[in-house]
A = this chain, B = another copy of it.
Amino acid sequence: MKYSQAFIPTLREVPSDAVIVSHRLMFRSGMIRKLGNGLFAYLPLGLRSFRKVEQIIREEMNAIGSLEIKPTVVVPGELWKESGRWDSMGEALLRLKNRLGLDFVVSPTAEEAFTSVVRDELSSYRQLPLSLYQINTKYRDEIRPRYGVMRGREFVMKDAYSYHTGDESLDEHYQAQGRAYRRIFKRCGLTVIPVKADSGAMGGTGSEEFMVESEVGDNTLLLCRVCDYSANVEKAECKLDYSPRFDINLAKGAASRTPSMEKIATPEVRTIEELCSFLKTGAKSFIKTLIYRALNVELDLSGAPGCGSLKQQKTAPGAPASYPEAFFAVAIRGDLDVNEIKLAAALKASEVTLAADADVRRITGAPVGFAGPAGLAAVPVIADFTVTGMNDAVTGALEKDLHYRHAAYGRDFEAWLIADLRTVRAGDHCPVCGGELYEKKGNELGHIFKLGNKYTRSMNVSYLDEEGKSRIPTMGCYGIGLDRTLASIIEEHHDDAGIIWPATVAPYHVIIIPIKYEGTVKTAADTLAAALEHAGIEVLLDDRNERPGVKFNDADLLGIPWRVVVGEKNLAAGKVEARRRSEKENRLLDLKEAADKLSGWIYGEIGELNSQC
């Protein structure tokens, strides 16, 4: 391909909103242009690399027996109503009505579309397991799209969905997907951090996220300095300061050695910090108590304090019964934060949020800032493990400007439910080996997830087992964002001058720069390009009438793995000058051997990246 015919509009300047490296370099190198906020057009250079990422993903999916299909991007709203997500998904779901008033969704993910296809075809256990995938356009109505294609509104995702007769088969495919993901990222030259987590909620029984480190990452990861433990902060556990094998008698014993609980006046004091400075003590001595509102609570609340009047309902036929709304007091040691994902999992709730002030006043009988577990009867108390070991604590007294001190678990209050609710942070200890945990910011590129029967149940999918009995298949889902993967490759592979593409995903393998595209230089450049292309190497030939400096800068910016300079002086000695984009030194090559040598090096790098991991 001749540069002058390739439509590669490079730039020196970048838009002010391009704050991360990949966004800046994709713009500058003419890979993408903005069509609107969070909407990008891939130009020819960008699309070439994009298609290579796409092909790597396709090959690895095919290799594990997943079958490619192509549902639509615009999907009937009916399917999303069946699954319940029409209501439960937030506003990031782009809903629309057509001219006939019918509801549609621009797919952000496709559990419904796939499950509807499978539902209509599935009859026998002999058809399972079945794994299907698509590589297709998705839309997520981000309020603040940013970081270029890293967090756009429209993007392309590979999403696979698998259907199984049981957990063993699901686990087998889940593991195969995990291995495929590791190969995909390795082939793209990416260093990923696989983050395992037991997802708990939503019927899932396992999930793994594939993260790349990023200063602007959405996710906080906790990694162990000693072993290979890694977890998203949303789900991270840590070695507990107190034994999870809680013994109420031990607590009572400890409480008996504590002075009686007493009220103290704390005028104008509401936050933990204010209390600490007022009482001249540390946050670890406080029991922080927060009132939460939870939706669709599947946990059985019969007999729980204050829950006598709650009624269970079914959100959909076949769905388990749940309480549409319930309130809880959550107690945790004052220096810790509640992890709401863990809380939702403990309550089997679809969503938890801090209660409104009015609800806090109603439940605690006091203004916000004076909640505490002692004497609280209006709602169930959910305590983090840390609280069960506190027997001389300060906590809210359910009255304005009053706190308790000497509060002791087992004597002055007890929890209705004890659970691990803390947000783990750097400095906490690894739950596996006890090593110190540290934090990294990361972006999620892929996610594999055991869904269980959430969708197959709500959408009435069934098959007949070997004994002719109707059963609901179990399901997994597996996603990779292509745009993000491409941008992350640039985040990992660049220098001040531009991109440094791994050969597997480079838009071209070689850029040939004739110093002046005329005479013998032109002939030599053309001949070399033809020889390389004959060997299957993708060549960009810079035929522009530009100064060599401009061409060199553009070549560095574009990041093509090999640059070959054809100039009169070297050519007189039968030589051309080659340089690997990732290296500093030039190599003088015999023109006659150049094509062989270069293709050998390139195929070597591709082979290494594609080798099994």
Chain A residues near B (Cβ < 8 Å): 5-7, 9, 33, 35-37, 39-44, 47, 50, 65, 67-76, 78-79, 91-92, 94, 96, 98-100, 102, 106, 113, 116-117, 120-121, 130, 132, 136-137, 139, 141, 143, 153-154
Contact = CB atoms under 8 A, between A and B. Distances in A.
17 contacts: A5-B65, A7-B67, A9-B121, A35-B76, A35-B79, A35-B113, A36-B78, A39-B72, A41-B69, A41-B72, A44-B67, A44-B69, A47-B69, A73-B73, A74-B139, A74-B154, A106-B106
Contact of A113 (B41, B94, B102): B41
Contacts of A69: 41-44, 47
Copies of this protein, total:
2
Contacts of A41: 69-72, 113, 117
Given A35-B79, A98-B141, A99-B91, A72 B117 contact: no
A130 B44 CA distance: 12
Given A5-B67, A72-B154, A73-B139, 10 more contacts: A7-B121, A7-B130, A7-B132, A36-B75, A39-B75, A41-B69, A41-B70, A41-B72, A47-B70, A74-B154
A487 to B, nearest CB: 15
Interface centre among A68, A73, A75 (most CB of B within 10 A): A73
Going nearest first, the 8 A-B pairs with the smallest beta carbon separation are A36-B76, A41-B71, A96-B96, A42-B70, A44-B67, A91-B99, A72-B154, A9-B121
Contact of A154 (B7, B47, B73, B132): B73
Nearest to A121: B9
Contacts of A42: 69-71
Contacts of A37: 76, 102
Contacts of A79: 35-36
A254 B361 CA distance: 100
A36 B112 CA distance: 12
Nearest to A76: B36
Given A78-B36, A117-B35, A137-B137, A44 B68 contact: yes
Contacts of A141: 98-99
Contacts of A99: 91-92, 141, 143
B70 A50 contact: yes
Contact of A117 (B5, B43, B73): B43
Contact of A35 (B47, B71, B132, B153): B71
A350 to B, nearest CB: 20
Given A33-B117, A69-B44, A98-B141, A106 B39 contact: no
Nearest to A48: B68
A7 B117 CA distance: 11
Given A117-B35, A117-B43, A120-B33, A137 B73 contact: yes
Contacts of A154: 72-74
Contacts of A6: 67
Contacts of A74: 39, 94, 106, 139, 153-154
A503 B532 CA distance: 31
A143 to B, nearest CB: 7
A371 to B, nearest CB: 34
A267 to B, nearest CB: 44
A515 B567 CA distance: 66
A339 B402 CA distance: 88
Contacts of A39: 72, 74-76
A47 to B, nearest CB: 5
A8 to B, nearest CB: 10
A5 B153 CA distance: 35
Contact of A75 (B35, B75, B117, B120): B35
